[in-house]
Amino acid sequence: MEKYFVVENKNIGTIGRPEFMENVIFSGTKNECIAHENEKRKQTKDTTICDYWTISETENNNQKNAANLFQTLTEEEKNDIIVVNGKKYIRKIYEMNMR
């Protein structure tokens, strides 16, 4: 069974110099996480400073792998963009996710 998490993304920087910190604040089933995310969002006055989202363990791992791969790409590879269904992707990262 897939694990799901609610991530809190908080801007801890100053005006003009945003700095974001992400923390997992809840885990459970997909429906439990979505309900928790919605409740936290209702409690938050300004979602430009703090926002929440639900992500699966698989999606989270894919994002980490893509970020790690991005760090190893040359400038030429970073600028090798493809368009799939109207969306732009970095070719190497798209290919990694299609495996």
pTM above 0.75, yes or no: no
Q: What pLDDT is attached to residue 98?
A: 83
Q: Please determine, for residue 86, whether its predicted confidence score (pLDDT) is greater than 90.
A: yes
Residue-range domain boundaries for the chain: 4-98
Answer whether 96's CB lies under 8 Å from 66's CB.
yes
Other Cβ atoms closer than 10 A to 52: 21
Reported as a single tens digit per residue, the pLDDT across 32-80 is 999 999 999 999 888 778 889 999 999 989 889 999 999 999 999 999 9
Q: What pLDDT is attached to residue 18?
A: 72
Give me the chain's average pLDDT, please: 91
- Print burial letters for 67-86: b (CB count within 10 Å at least 16), e (below 16): eebeeeeeeeeeeeeeeeee
H/E stretch holding 21: strand 20-28
